[in-house]
Amino acid sequence: MRKNIVAGNWKMNTNLQEGVALAKGVNEALKNITANCDVIIGVPFTHLAPVNDAIDSSKLGLAAENCADHKSGAYTGEVSAPMVASTGAKYVILGHSERRQYYGETSEILKTKVNLALENNLAPIFCIGEVLEERENGSYLNVVKTQIVDALFELSADDFSKIILAYEPVWAIGTGKTATAEQAEEMHAFIRGVLAEKYGQEVADNTSILYGGSCKPSNAAELFAKPNVDGGLIGGASLDVESFMGIVTAF
Ligand code: 13P
């Protein structure tokens, strides 16, 4: 059966020293509890190797927040999937709405990134989600389905089973405006149905679908109680040990 997962996405926050201290804090806090979910932190590229050295990877997973759409070569400033894998990270966040919106990442680009991640044994945490206008005009289910179909449905069932999905309604990211548990459940159940149609019920049932967007200790338990919400992808609240652990322990 699918895993429950709470993953942090630090975005472009913390310098190296602050980031290592935060990772150590989460690592320490995890020693004192029995978490009912897998816990992952997504950190800036510069932090990957030192954070990997500072944490117990059997208790705390490590993710990059992106990777390049090429394996190697003359792409100044880019960081490839093999480079990410060489730091010890096991996951990579791909398709975040901020990457789609500010860096022009299309489904075509994301398809390439997903393939490179999988070739390098990185599990993609693949983000999908509609903007406010699409929520309001009622096209949100279709928008999210298209994002999934276009970037992921050429994968074999075996490769697809390595993907973690994160539904992040763009209107809920960093706005303090969380989707209601019912809105999240509606979308997550819909996504699972889309996966079942393509890959069969077993693959669909085994896929973890996380919710992201203003998730915090005060609303995590209600969201995670929904049958198709398998955890969270946490932005702001992952930058503080206490609030992140408040979400981890919501399971
Ligand atoms: P916030 O939790 O800050 O709304 O961000 C969510 C997010 O974008 C995680 O990837």
Token pair, residue 104, equals: 């022009």
Angle at 201 between CA 205 and CA 42, to 5 degrees: 35
Average of per-residue pLDDT values in the chain: 97
CATH of residue 109's domain is 3.20.20.70
Is ligand 1 within 6 A of the CB of residue 8? no
The whole-number pLDDT of residue 177 equals 84
For ligand 1, whether the C-beta of 116 sits within 6 Å is no
Nearest-10 crossing angle of helices 181-199, 217-224: 40
Give the burial class of 58: count Cβ atoms within 10 A of its Cβ; 0-12 exposed, 13-18 middle, 19 or more buried: exposed
pLDDT for res 176:
84
- The confidence band for 15, taking pLDDT boundaries of 50, 70 and 90, is very high
0.75 surpassed by pTM: yes
Q: How many domains does the chain have?
A: 1
Give tens-digit pLDDT for 174-221: 888 889 999 999 999 999 999 999 999 999 999 999 999 999 999 999
Average pLDDT over residues 93-103: 98
The residue range of the domain holding 101 is: 5-248
168 part of the active site? yes
Which amino acid does the sequence have at 242?
Answer: E
155 CB within 6 A, ligand 1: no
Which pLDDT tens digit goes with each residue over 76-91?
Answer: 999 999 999 999 999 9
Atom of ligand 1 nearest to the CA of 174: 4
Name 166's bridge partners.
127, 210
Q: Which atom of ligand 1 is nearest to the CA of 213?
A: 4
